């Protein structure tokens, strides 16, 4: 029996075509077509807006820049209106120094050395007559006294002087820098170097001891001063140089022969014996002990001798430098 074909009663839907599968996009309006399409690159901002934003974030640097600019302008104006500046040369500096020294001259090296040693220098008088009270009198004969100089080397008043200044004295008297006086005792001697050590019985409260220095670096030509009481006048200071080292001296009478002496040309006369020979820094390097006298006048002719302070310190029981 032939089959009867089966059919559906629902209406058949039309099959869509390729053109119908893509929906149609409506055409843009005329106003929309004039607007350009957006791009990925942002538009460049206006420079004025950038400066304002920078000023808002960093006000300090802008004020500093403005101040520096103003200062440069003021400096430029000042340089433009002021007269030309004089160039300072070495001649100007030398002239200023000379003018300053003329108004207030500096003390000499010898003056500064004397100031340093002055408080330690004493006048030493050896009284040879028991009736002598030690007072300075016009009628007092020079033969009745032995005048010389000494230097304080310790705070307790220990004094170095020459042995020939106090040799044979019945009484020893010392006068300090402040004018005060005291009797002194002979506590040590070193005849081979003509040295004596004295100890005063009273000392000033503000007594200063001298500073001593080794002679190991002393050289001929070094400046020195001799401080003492020549002919009882003093304290007096004279300046010169070291003339030689390791000299020998024999007294005219042949009673003394000294060696290893410092020769100097600072003026020294009778009364300077026992005084300090001082360098320009105020340090004692020797004890004045003799002058060369080819004549009988006993006046200085330019050659003096001093015992090195190393020997003098040993005489006082101090260790050598």
Q: Which residues are catalytic?
A: 164, 194, 273
203: CB partners within 8 A, 6+ apart? 156, 157, 176, 182
* Separation between Cα atoms, residue 247 and residue 261, nearest integer Å: 5
Copy the structure tokens of residue 260: 């290893």
Residues in the chain: 321
Locate 285 and state its tokens: 């390097």
Angle at the Cα of 165 from the Cα atoms of 159 and 171, rounded to 5 degrees: 80
Would you tell me how many other CB atoms lie within 10 Å of the CB of residue 220? 12
Q: Provide the CB-side half-sphere exposure for 125 (13 A, CA).
A: 22
Give the integer Cα–Cα distance in Å for 232 and 167: 18
User: What H or E segment, with its residue span, contains residue 36?
Assistant: none
Task: Let me know: does 216 contact 288? Beta carbons within 8 Å.
Answer: no
Contact assessment for residue 62 and residue 55, using Cβ atoms and an 8 Å cutoff: yes
What is the three-class DSSP state of 91? helix
Is 284:306 a contact under the CB 8 Å cutoff? Answer: no
Is residue 129 within 8 Å of residue 144, measured between CB atoms?
A: yes
DSSP 193-259: GTEEEEEES---TT--PPEE--STT--TT-EEEEEE-GGG--SEEEEEEEEEEEEEEE-TTSS-EEE
């Amino acid at each position: 029996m032939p089959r009867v074909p089966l059919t559906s009663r629902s209406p058949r839907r039309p099959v869509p075509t390729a053109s119908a599968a893509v929906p149609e996009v409506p055409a843009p309006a005329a106003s929309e077509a004039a607007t350009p399409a957006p791009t990925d690159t942002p538009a460049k901002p206006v420079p004025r807006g950038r400066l304002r934003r920078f000023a808002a974030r960093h006000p300090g640097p802008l004020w500093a820049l403005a101040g520096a600019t103003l200062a440069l302008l003021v400096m430029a104006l000042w340089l433009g209106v002021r007269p030309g500046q004089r160039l300072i040369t070495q001649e100007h500096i030398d002239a200023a120094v000379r003018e300053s020294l003329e108004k207030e001259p500096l003390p000499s090296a010898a003056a500064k050395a004397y100031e340093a040693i002055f408080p330690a220098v004493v006048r030493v008088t050896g009284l040879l007559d028991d009736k002598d009270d030690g007072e300075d009198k016009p009628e007092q004969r020079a033969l009745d006294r032995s005048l010389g100089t000494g230097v304080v080397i310790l705070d307790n008043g220990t004094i170095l002087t020459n042995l020939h200044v106090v040799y044979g004295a019945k009484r020893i008297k010392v006068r300090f820098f402040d004018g005060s006086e005291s009797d002194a005792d002979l506590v040590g001697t070193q005849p081979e170097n003509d040295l004596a050590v004295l100890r005063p019985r009273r000392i000033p409260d503000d007594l200063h001891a001298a500073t001593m220095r080794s002679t190991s670096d002393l050289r001929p030509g070094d400046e020195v001063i001799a401080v003492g009481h020549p002919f009882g006048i003093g304290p007096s200071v004279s300046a010169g140089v070291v003339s030689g080292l390791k000299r020998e001296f024999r007294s005219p009478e042949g009673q003394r022969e000294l060696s290893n002496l410092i020769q100097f040309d600072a003026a020294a006369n009778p009364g300077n014996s026992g005084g300090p020979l001082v360098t320009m820094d105020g340090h004692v390097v020797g004890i004045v002990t003799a002058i060369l006298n080819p004549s009988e006048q006993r006046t200085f002719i330019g050659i003096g001798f001093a015992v090195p302070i190393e020997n003098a310190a040993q005489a006082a029981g101090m260790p050598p430098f």
